[in-house]
Structure 1
Amino acid sequence: MQDLENGVWHNKPTRFDHSDGSLHVVTDEQTDFWRETHYGFTRDNGHFLGVETADGFTAQLRVRATFEHLYDQAGLMVRIDERNWLKAGLEFSDGQALLGSVLTVDRSDWATGPFAGNPMDFWMRVSLADGVLRLQASQDGKHWPLVRLCPFPRSARYRVGPMCCTPERAGLSVRFSDWSLTPHLGKPLHDLG
C-alpha cells in the first residue's frame, strides 16, 4: 500500500498536516476543478494529493468535513492530466450536501444525487481497470453501493488520492483517513462488500 505521505500535491494548500494516520487540509480561497461545460470556464486549482499507480487498482478513503457553503466539496480524485480526470465525493449544493461525481474527458459533466448517510463522515472507493471506472460510496466503510460506472481513458500511469476545494470561499476543514490503495478488487458489479 502506498502511503499518502508519498503523494504529490497538485495545488498544495497553504494549510495541511499529516498526523495520526490522517491528512488534515484547510482549503484555500476559490479553488476548483472544472472544464467548460455550462459555466464556460476552466479551473484547475483545487487541492489534490495524488499517489501514482498503474492500471488495475482500487483506492478508498474516509472523509470528514462540515459542508456549509455553495460548492464546498471533498472526496477522491483519479487524474491523468488537466483534461482527463474524475472527482467524486460530497458537494454542498441546493442547501444540502449531495453525493456527486464529475467526469472530465476534455469537458466536465456533473452527476449528483442525495446521500442517505451522515454528510460529515463518509467513505469513497474507486476501482479502475482496462478503461472501466467503478465509483462507490459508503456510510460505514463496509457496505458500498454503486455511484457510477463509466469508461475512463486508458493510461500507463494514474494519480489517485484525496481532493477538496471551495469555489466560493476558503476555509473548509477536511480530515482524510483510512486510506488504502490495492490491486483492483475484481468484485462482481452487484457485490456491495
Structure 2
Amino acid sequence: MGPASGWAGRSVTVRASRSGDAVTIRARVDEEMWRLVRVAPLRPEAVVSAGPFCCAPSRAGLVVLFTSWRTTDADISLHP
C-alpha cells in the first residue's frame, strides 16, 4: 500500500490471512508493527494453495532470499 524503503537489506516477515471474501497481506521487519501490504478479493468458496513468491514490478535486479515458510492457525488478534 506504500513504499518501505527502510526495509532494504533487512529480513522481512510476510503474513497472508484469509477471512471471508478476501485475503490480506501484512509485512513487518523485526518486531515492528504489521503494515498492510494488500487486500485482495477472494471468493469464499475458492479452494486455494499458497507458496513464497516475490517480484519487483518497477525495476530489474531484485534478489530475494526466502529463509522459511510456515502454515499456522489463524491469529486471533487479526481475526477475532
- Structure 2: state its 5+ residue gaps: none
Could you tell me the percent identity over the aligned residues? 33
- Structure 1: state its 5+ residue gaps: 1-111
Equivalents in 2 of 1:188, 1:164: separation in Å?
23
Matched, 1:133 2:28: no
Equivalents in 1 of 2:68, 2:32: separation in Å?
12
Matched, 1:180 2:70: yes
Equivalents in 2 of 1:139, 1:148: separation in Å?
16
- TM-score, with structure 1 as normaliser: 0.32
Alpha carbons of 1:169 and 1:116: their partners in 2 closer, same or farther (altered >3 Å)? closer
Query: Which of the pair has more CA radius of gyration?
Result: 1
RMSD: 3.1
Structure 1 or 2: more strand by fraction: 1
Is the 2:18–2:24 Cα contact (8 Å) retained in structure 1? yes
- Structure-1 residue corresponding to 2:4: 115
| Within-5 A mapping of 1:26-105 | none
SS at match of 2:51: strand
Higher relative contact order (CA 8 A, sep 6+): 1
- TM-score, with structure 2 as normaliser: 0.63
